Amino acid sequence: MSSATGRLLIVHGPNLNMLGTREPGIYGSESLEDINALCHRAAADLGYDLDTVQSNHEGALVDAIQAARGTADGIVINPAAYTHTSVAIADALRATALPVVEVHLSNVHAREAFRSHSYVSPVAEAVIAGAGSTGYRFAIEHLAAYLSS
Ligand code: DQA
């Protein structure tokens, strides 16, 4: 039996499975496995269990987010390119009624103009951009603080 405080879901959007080799000057040299390990450590430090999911498919991400309702206490999401295009992912997050923290490895506001718009941000309790992989730790710490407040 788990003695955890609760359960968090980390959602990684398209192309994040390529981390480590994908434009490392922008996204860093850590792999998705490295980032998931970091997330597991951060969650465990705060007494939370953690699930992670990555997909390159919008519908699969919607399914994973819907499934979090009733199984997770909060969601950390890097929607990647779907940040800028997906009403469906934003609606799924809204439908869960769970607290959401949006993470971007890069500072999306210092890049192409289209990356400054996020469909997800209006649903998020907090948005962290440009802190690299540490942003995931910040997001988990924020969710834990939010959930215990
Ligand atoms: C990203 C930023 C997005 O604009 C981009 O499409 C990604 C990754 C980031 O983590 O910086 O795939 O979400």
21-63 per-position pLDDT tens digit = 999 999 999 999 999 999 999 999 999 999 999 999 999 999 9
Q: Cα-flanking dihedrals φ and ψ of residue 25, to 5°?
A: -65, -25
Distance 2 CA to ligand 1 centre (A): 34
For residues 25-45, one letter each, b for 16 or more C-beta atoms within 10 angstroms of the residue's C-beta and e for the rest, the string is eebbebbbeebbebbbebbee
Specify the ligand 1 atom closest to the Cα of 79.
13
- Is 119 an annotated catalytic residue? no
Res 2 pLDDT > 80: no
6-22 residue pLDDT tens: 999 999 999 999 999 99
- Annotated binding-site residue? 91: yes
Residue % of the chain over a pLDDT of 70: 98
| Tokens at 32, concatenated | 């998705």
- Annotated binding-site residue? 34: no
Specify the ligand 1 atom closest to the Cα of 106.
11
DSSP 8-state symbol, 56: S
- Mean pLDDT of the region 92-119: 98
> What's the whole-model pTM score?
0.96
Catalytic residue among 12, 48, 104, 136: 104
- Mean pLDDT of the region 111-129: 98
